[in-house]
Amino acid sequence: MIQHAPVLIIIIPLLAALMNLIVGLWRKRLCYLFTVAALGTCVFLSVAILDIVAGHGTITYKLGGWPPPWGIAYVIDHLNAFMLVIVSFISLVVAVYSKVSIEKELPEKIIQFYTLFLLLVTGLLGILATGDVFNLFVFLEIASLAGYALIAVGDDRAPLASFNYVIMGTIGACFYLLGVGYLYIATGSLNMADLSQLLPELYDSRVVLGAFAFLMVGVAIKMAFFPLHKWLPDAYTHAPSAVSAFIASTMTKVGAYVMIRIMFTVFKPYFSIEVIPVTAILGWLAVAAMLYGCIRAIAQTDVKRMLSYIIIAEVGYIVMGVSVGNRMGFTGAILHILNDAFMMACLFLAAGAIEYKTGTRNVHNFSNLYKKMPVTTAAFTVGGLSIVGIPPTCGFFSKWYLVLGAIDSQQWVFAGTLLFSSLLMAVIFFKVLVNIYFGSQPVSGAHSIGGNGAVVMDEAPLSMLFPICIMAVGILSLGFFSGKIISSVIQFTVPGSF
Amino acid sequence: MEIMDFIISKYNYWMYIIIMMIGFYAMIAKTNLAKKVVGMNIFQTAIILFFISTASKKGATIPIIQHGHGEAADIIHAAQYMNPLPHVLMLTAIVVMVSTFGVAIALLIMIYRKYNTLEEDEILEILKIENGR
Amino acid sequence: MIRDFEGVIIKTVCRLITPVIQLYGLYVIAHGHYSPGGGFQGGCILAASFILMVLAYDIKEVKKRMSEKINTIFCSLGVIIYAGIGLLCLILGANFLDYSILHKILPADPAHSRSLGILGVEIGVGFTVMAVLVSIFLNIASGGEHEEGEER
Amino acid sequence: METAVIYSIKPLLAIGVSLIAALLIFLTGERSRNLRESWTILASVIKFTIIASMVPSILAGNVIEYTVISIAPGLSLQFRVDALGIFFAITASFLWIITSFYSIGYVRSLKEHAQTRYFICFAIALSATMGVAFSANLFTTFLFYEIITLSTYPLVAHKETPEAMKGARKYITYLLGTSIAFQLFAIFLTYSAAGTLDYSYHGIFNSVRGHGVSDTFLIITFILFMAGITKAAMMPFHSWLPAAMVAPTPVSALLHAVAVVKTGVFVVVKVVLHIFGINLLSQLGLGTALAYFASFTIIVASIIALRQDNLKARLAYSTVSQLSYVILGVALLTPSGITGSIMQIVLHAFGKITLFFAAGAIYVTAHKTRVSELDGIGKQMPFTMAAFTAGAISMIGIPPLGGFLSKWFLGIGAIEAGQIPIIIVLATSTILNACYFLPIVHRAFLKEATDSTDKNSSLVTRYSSIKEAPALMVGALVLTASGAVALFFKPSLFLDLARMVAASVTGVN
């Protein structure tokens, strides 16, 4: 049965999503357990896949037994196996977390929420697993549609934010589809491996160049890369806390994955680097993204909006690492996909827990919060330090590789910008953390009873606290094991020509 | 002269580009959200037309072999049949398009309930007032 | 938005042609795997029949025949048929959606069992498309309440 | 001497013990203060014994190594205890014992708030200091360097008053900002050029110089290092130190004498000796440049100190000046210079901690912070002011106080290096030190004191009016003062260690 894991990991959440509707008609409460069980299975399967891939190399699964390029093939190498583990794990953690917060935020939409959540997971896992460019488009749209709906049920600004996301996302998807169409005209194939065989002799044809441009723009919109990021902050700010935690930590990363696939699998690396200097363009845009994201984030008082702008900067990090075009930088980018997924999940979950308890997202109301909810704020601190890049948190190590990559390719501006942006990150989180630990108005009686305000402690429920702690511990432990992760998985994802 | 037949011979591409740009313009420039959605539909329709037009051949028929296997199977000439793949792809794309349309319309209803208008600038005004408070 | 109105002709005609439309929809579904048509198209036609009834009568009338719950069940059922057949192939030892393996349980050779498998999938797709389209229409037409029409 | 490498977990224990103490302190909390403080004392004593137990093997010329985890190529959490490290560690851990006694007396007599947080951060800062002392590569150093910054921030901001927050913000802005912007960048450059971050006695740049690594690159890296290690409080990056004066006095003592600034100069010494190596620096002429830079800091900081009326601010600028001696001595790149600078680490530690303890005692007892208010305080608090005098004399560098030794070696080093101007600098700064310390002593003992010019007789005659600080505090500062005296007569242990360091890096036995 395990050899069918590549398709099962997509079918199981899909079936569970539709089952939820029926189960929900009978018992509302079962939906939660059902979802968690399905996602747990996904985590197990993804780990199994990673194990197989690490052991025996790339898996190719032919749907319907049709050999590619005629049938759809699911091709899983180290890169997507790695991503599958990240996405399924974070989806499980967020699902566990979502129980209480969803019961509070949308009490009458629980069934629909879990259905859409599972569909979103299905879409993301499908994007990662498939080896077929059109199938990728379908899953991209499944994920996006579920995302639109999930974002729309947030607070009262959410519908408008979600509508803008729909417009932008549709443009992105249509551009991607156009690119696929051009590739199909030029080669008559939709299979990634097949395309990478057929394309090299067409690299000078305008159709292929146009296809590449359309694909890149479409994906850049989906991953909120700098000039095309407008939809992101609103959408992520107004979504329900569980949704924004999951989407923020995975969706942009999956977009980055698709970009890497297009640049280095569908097209050969030397095309993306030499034939047309797309990596150079992306690199400079990434620099702009880092600066823009950090600078806009400084000005925000809404913690979720602040984190959303930080995501834009983080996407810039990833693209920068890819664009320097050497082994170090690429390793840093892939490592940063993992680390950033964890950091963002941790921070958004913590922010959600804080909002759940205090009802505010405004950082100025966080003063002396550590007395009220020490564990959550501790996790928030860990996440913040990791984003700033203080060792031994994992954020330091991905930045280590990113900067070394930039230095190796003599891109001093990139390296300087990355360090400068981590300075700005330090400013951002310093502002928040000082508020949390040394609030301007101390809690009454604090001076008489001393620092750890056990007396006024009022933590979030355990089902929220546990995922947050998992993420915080994950951030710390990923830091220590990053060398092992690189040597066992990431080094195989680097394109051969680097 | 050859520029003319360059244009004429590729007329389907010119058509889809024109339609697509109409839709694109509506999505970007119109301030009315409903018109944005309409533009979105036009945009997607143009892409579907593009795909379908790439599949067509003169004098070809549907790619289904009548009275199937056996002795009939050896008289298959690819030139006689349309390329089915773009149609299949577009069937999926249409489904995607319909569901996107549904989501967009639902969002429009939610927005209208809240702001009693679909004009973007009026909504932004309302938001500004809300932020002022 | 959608209000009942006194149009005897329209109501009668709709009542008359609705079964025909639905029959045609079923026909399109049933022939999808070896002639133009299939689950999507047939599902759309079936959904169109319900939408026509909504236009002629009102949502309340239609929900008497096709309630929210049934709609949901249809919607899930379609996908479950589709994925179920896929998983069945998988359990029988072939790849996902490799219908030719179905000859182990179907009284047919691999080629025909493949076409039968496709038929099953088309039926599932038809269910889902019909249910989803109807629910989209009902939700949007009634703004989510499904309670249009009875105030009069 | 041949160095045998011993693999032992002792360094990790020495670091971990105070982390465990921090945890215990947190768990104990406010419920039982005595238990909580006993954890601190226990941890400090254990730490000192562990470190002391490492001394003999180090003196025998061995090196103790322990690798916790090797995260990635170039990034390994590794400890390597050599003479320099043990020198710093034993100073810091010994002073931590005294400081914890002192600060218990301090916070209790002032009824400070958030005492648990205070002691937790204290313990974490100390273990991070040990980490820096024992670190075997730049990554480990950077890791613990940042931990020190973050864990001392709550101590500096302890009072939580607006000006405390302001000073603390300046503190963390300088330390964190420069370390991320310059030091981390310099570490990146080092790794990309040399391919390693492990300290080596002859400098890791010696081997790669010329092979694709230009001198300009090296000079830029050096400047980035010097700018990044702001904890050393070299001008122009010194102004966080006076700003940090808002902290409680034991914290200032910790900052100046034990943990923060000392860590800064320690890392500077590490970078100069083990990253660049004295040969390379002398070839690049960077040593001399650094020496003159340090001399500038010495003179200017002393002049500023003259004008300070706030006692702690004056001490702060004196620290800025005094610790540049360490950098100066290393920058001379001669055996005696290095010996002197390393001696300066411990001697200044004892002297300066005494002065700060005295300042704290005055504040606790008489609530006086300004120099101009100290008239005749010596009759009120004879022990405190006697210790203060001892510390001041040690700072100035007059026998029979320890401070003399370091200046002596520095002078010899300057002669060895043929830098006559440096000797003038030393002389000038000595005079300046005298100018800003002796007036305090003069005020304390001689102002409006007609009959007694000598503190013993004043002790006898004015015995009735004596109003000393709590015994814990007085005991602590008398102990450190006598330590400063003892170091003059019995400096053998530290002197041997310092000589070993100098020998190991210069190759001259």
CA-nearest residue to A178 within chain B is B47
pLDDT of residue B71: 56
| pLDDT tens digit sequence for A374-395 | 888 889 999 999 998 888 888 8
- Locate A415 and state its tokens: 């390296």
Write down the ipTM of this complex.
Answer: 0.84
Mean pLDDT computed over A93-122: 87
Question: Is B54 in Cβ contact with A185 (below 8 Å)?
Answer: yes
CB C124 within 8 A of CB C110: no
**Cβ of residue A2 closer than 8 Å to a chain C Cβ:** no
CB D199 within 8 A of CB D134: no
Task: Report residue D460's pLDDT band, with 50, 70 and 90 as the boundaries.
Answer: very low
pLDDT of residue D509: 45
CA distance D371 to D435: 13
Closest approach of B127 to chain A, Cα-based (Å):
9
pLDDT of residue D508: 53
Mean pLDDT computed over D351-356: 87
DSSP A264: I
Please tell me chain D's helix, strand, coil percentages from 3-state DSSP, rounded to the nearest 5. 75, 5, 20
CB A125 within 8 A of CB A92: no
pLDDT, mean over chain A: 86
Q: What CATH architecture does domain B2-58+82-132 belong to?
A: Orthogonal Bundle (1.10)
Percent of chain D with pLDDT over 90: 0
pLDDT of residue B73: 54
Q: Which residue in B95, B109, B113 is closest to C140 by CB distance?
A: B109
Is pLDDT above 50 for A43?
A: yes
Task: Report residue A137's pLDDT band, with 50, 70 and 90 as the boundaries.
Answer: very high
List of chain A residues whose C-beta atoms are within 8 Å of the C-beta of residue C80: 15, 18-19
pLDDT of residue C147: 54
Q: Which residue in C72, C80, C100 is closest to A15 by CB distance?
A: C80
pLDDT of residue D200: 80
Task: Report residue D465's pLDDT band, with 50, 70 and 90 as the boundaries.
Answer: low
Q: Which of residues 19-38 of A touch C (CB under 8 A)?
A: 19, 21-22, 25
CA distance D118 to D100: 11
- In chain C, domain spans: 8-142
Strand A73-76 with A59-62, pairing:
antiparallel
Task: Report residue A453's pLDDT band, with 50, 70 and 90 as the boundaries.
Answer: very low
List of chain A residues whose C-beta atoms are within 8 Å of the C-beta of residue C90: 4, 7-8
| pLDDT tens digit sequence for A424-438 | 998 888 888 888 887
Residue B116's CB is within 10 A of a number of other CB atoms, namely 10
- Locate A97 and state its tokens: 């977390």
CB C81 within 8 A of CB C121: yes
| pLDDT tens digit sequence for A312-347 | 999 999 999 988 888 888 999 999 999 999 999 999
- In chain D, domain spans: 285-509
| pLDDT tens digit sequence for D93-113 | 888 888 888 888 888 887 777
Task: Report residue D463's pLDDT band, with 50, 70 and 90 as the boundaries.
Answer: very low
Alpha-helical (H) ranges within D7-114 are 10-28, 33-59, 83-110
DSSP D247: S
pLDDT of residue A445: 37
CA distance C136 to C68: 11
**Cβ of residue A141 closer than 8 Å to a chain B Cβ:** yes
Closest approach of B86 to chain C, Cα-based (Å):
15
pLDDT of residue C4: 56
| pLDDT tens digit sequence for D236-284 | 788 888 888 878 888 888 777 777 888 888 888 888 888 888 888 888 8
Interface size, chain B vs chain C, as Cβ–Cβ contacts under 8 Å? 23
pLDDT higher at C15 or C33? C15
Closest approach of A152 to chain C, Cα-based (Å):
14
Closest approach of A136 to chain D, Cα-based (Å):
34
Percent of chain A with pLDDT over 70: 96
- Locate D473 and state its tokens: 């505090």
pLDDT of residue A446: 37
**Cβ of residue A62 closer than 8 Å to a chain C Cβ:** yes
Question: Is A145 in Cβ contact with B100 (below 8 Å)?
Answer: yes
Is pLDDT above 70 for C144?
A: no
DSSP A107: G
pLDDT of residue A448: 36
Percent of chain C with pLDDT over 70: 89
| pLDDT tens digit sequence for C60-100 | 778 888 888 888 888 888 888 988 888 888 888 778 877 77
List of chain A residues whose C-beta atoms are within 8 Å of the C-beta of residue B101: none
| pLDDT tens digit sequence for B7-42 | 787 788 888 889 999 999 998 888 899 999 999 999
Taking 70 as the pLDDT cut, the residues of chain B under it are 65-76, 133
**Cβ of residue C93 closer than 8 Å to a chain B Cβ:** no
| pLDDT tens digit sequence for D426-451 | 888 888 888 888 888 888 887 764 44
CA-nearest residue to A450 within chain D is D114
Of A77-81, A130-134, D362-366, the range with the lowest mean pLDDT is D362-366
Closest approach of B5 to chain C, Cα-based (Å):
34
Is pLDDT above 50 for A444?
A: no
pLDDT of residue A259: 92
